[in-house]
DNA sequence: CCATGCGGTTTGCATTGCAAACCTGTTTGC
DNA sequence: GCAAACAGGTTTGCAATGCAAACCGCATGG
């Protein structure tokens, strides 16, 4: 009989980290977002947003697209399919854990 | 107009960390739990459970009580009021963030 | 030209979380 | 009765992470 906490082991730290959870969750509701937009809504510094995005890209959860808009370089990020699935799965696990705790109720300390 | 992501900044890393979220959530449904019970349901190693508990104790989120049950030493952990509040607050924030993302929908990149 | 700003990336460092070693006492085998 | 195994943890060592700060290339302004 598995406890709901087994799901914790499966929590993907890459997704779970607050800043990245923010980025991913934000991306999940826009088809595409640029760097500065993400910067504003997450409140991260440029440096940290940059490195989190790289990490997410490397993991295949987001796709990065760099182009020039006129003369300004601009970086777009969007969720990959994999990223979308990972995020959905993650929220589901969290939900599951919290719900599961209630089911644990009858258990008592030795 | 604050975005829901401001709540992320407030996510308490101490609580957010998966293993500790497990410990705290488990504790939230038993008035008291012993070390080995926590060990089983979280699936952590003794060493890591020990250090997570210490950290939670230092932060004032759990209270540790050590006694002898016959000849065996046994360690009990229970949530402090502060711990209970922190956990509740944490789940609330997470909920808020996920819900909030949907409200972000109309925003678009650029 | 020099400096100031924009749009990021890279670097350095302190903090973490994990695995493995260790510790104190108790029980078991012989 | 003494060595070995076990129970219940704690401490240590190390690799990885996240953050702040420094850096970089290009473009515009004085």
pLDDT digits (tens, 9 = 90+) for B24-83: 999 999 999 999 999 998 999 999 999 999 999 999 999 999 999 888 899 999 999 999
What is the predicted pLDDT for the residue at B14? 95
A33-44 average pLDDT score: 93
**Which bases on strand D have an atom closer than 7 Å to a protein beta carbon?**
7-12, 17-22, 26-28
**pLDDT digits over A79-107, tens only?**
999 999 999 999 998 988 888 777 765 44
Residues of A in contact with B66 (CB under 8 A): none
- Nearest nucleotide (C1') to alpha carbon of B34: D8
Strand D and B47 CB separated by under 7 Å: yes
A64-75 average pLDDT score: 92
Contact B23, B48 (CB under 8 A): no
Write the CA distances from B47 to A8, A47, B36, B52, B105, integer angstroms: 18, 35, 12, 9, 44
């Amino acid at each position: 009989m598995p406890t709901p906490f087994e799901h914790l082991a499966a929590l993907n730290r890459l997704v779970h980290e607050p800043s990245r959870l923010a980025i991913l969750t934000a991306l999940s509701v826009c088809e595409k977002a640029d760097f500065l937009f993400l910067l504003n809504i997450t409140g991260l510094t440029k440096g940290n947003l940059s490195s989190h995005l790289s990490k997410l890209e490397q993991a295949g959860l987001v796709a990065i697209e760099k182009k020039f808009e006129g003369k300004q370089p601009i970086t777009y990020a969007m969720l990959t399919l994999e990223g979308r699935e990972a995020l959905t799965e993650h929220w589901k696990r969290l939900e599951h854990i919290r719900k599961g705790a209630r089911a644990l109720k009858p258990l008592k300390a030795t």
